[in-house]
Amino acid sequence: MANAIKESDPSYKFEGSPMDATKATPLAYQQRWKLIIESLSDLQVVGLEAEVLWGRQPIEVLDPLHKAVVQLNWALGEHLRGKSNVASDQGDKNYFIVFASGNDEFGTKVSNAIDKVEKFVRPHLKA
């Protein structure tokens, strides 16, 4: 967490106080989210290039993965606003998206989306 604060504001003196943790948590998520957005952006470029070669199908194959990223972004936002553990079905769902181990409904959705992309791309790759 100290790294998140340091990268965001190099002049900030991290002392390990509860206020530091409050500040660091969203910054840590923000740093991690940057990597996801960069990867998604790269994937969208490749998808558009594939669409030129193979038609609309590559975009359709990538759509479930894109939707999963949007859902994760929403759940993270709700979590950081303190709404992910509220007593509601949506609050519980957001909480489990953020904190699940990967062997859950959302993790399965992401794995299936990745499998779908791999199955489409594999025949087009040269060995």
The pTM (predicted TM-score) of the whole model is 0.75
Q: What is the pLDDT of residues 63-107, one digit of tens each?
A: 999 999 999 999 888 887 775 555 555 667 878 888 877 678 899
Alpha-carbon distance 103 to 77, whole Å? 22
Cα distances (Å, whole numbers) of residue 4 to 10, 84, 87 = 10, 22, 30
Write the secondary structure of the chain as one string of H (helix), E (strand) and C (coil): CHHHHHHHCCCCCCCCCHHHHHHHHHHHHHHHHHHHHHHHHHHHHHHHHHHHHHCCHHHHHHHHHHHHHHHHHHHHHHHHCCCCCCCCHHHHHHHHHHHCCCCCHHHHHHHHHHHHHHHHHHHHCCC
pLDDT in tens, 3-29: 555 565 555 565 666 555 666 777 778
* Average pLDDT across the chain, whole number: 81
